[in-house]
Every structure is written in C-alpha cells, then in structure tokens.
Amino acid sequence: MGLVAGRFGSAVSLGFVVETERQVEAHLASHMDRLPKGDLASRAIVSQMKVDEARHAREAQQAGATELPAPVKGLMKLAARVMTTVAHRI
C-alpha cells in the first residue's frame, strides 16, 4: 500500500505515513488499556512509543501530507487488522 501511495507523489505518500502513525498510535492505546496498571516498565515503553508515533505523524503533516480519503483509511485499517491477527496467532 505504501508503494502504491508513493506513486501518487510526496503529499499522498506522507498522508499514508500520517494515517499509519495514527493507526499505530491507536493500536498502542489499546495495549495501554490492557496492560496491568502495576506493570510500570511496560507502560512506560508503550507510552513512549505512542509519543514517538504521534511525533512522526505531526512531522509528516508539517512536511506537506495530504489527508487520505476515508475509504483508503478503512482499507489500511483492514490490512492492519489482518496483520495484527496473523501476528497474534503466530
């Protein structure tokens, strides 16, 4: 999908980056919800990862990213769900 996005130019490619980072950030937020409150080490790591992903999205926006259409975002979410489900089962 990233390869295809790249064929539409830098703004679309950066839009792909922004949406990817947003979805990863949301995925990490779901991990935060499931991590035990007392697991401070894991929570600190995931929290820092969330901060990093948000910064990547912000930087891609500042570099001129275009907002992707909703159907494309939905397709990306579907692909991510397939990847995380397969990874979880393996």
What is the binding site for Fe ion (CB under 5 A)? Answer: 21, 53, 56
Nearer to Fe ion, 22 or 43 (CB): 22
Give the residue closest to Fe ion by C-beta: 56
Q: Shortest distance, CB of residue 40 to Fe ion, whole angstroms?
A: 23
Nearer to Fe ion, 2 or 40 (CB): 2
Rounded Cα distance between 85 and 90, Å, is 9
Check residue 82 and report its DSSP letter: H
Rounded Cα distance between 81 and 26, Å, is 12
**Polymer length of the chain:** 90
Nearer to Fe ion, 40 or 44 (CB): 44
Q: Shortest distance, CB of residue 38 to Fe ion, whole angstroms?
A: 28
Q: HSE, CB side, 13 Å, CA atoms: give it for residue 24.
A: 18
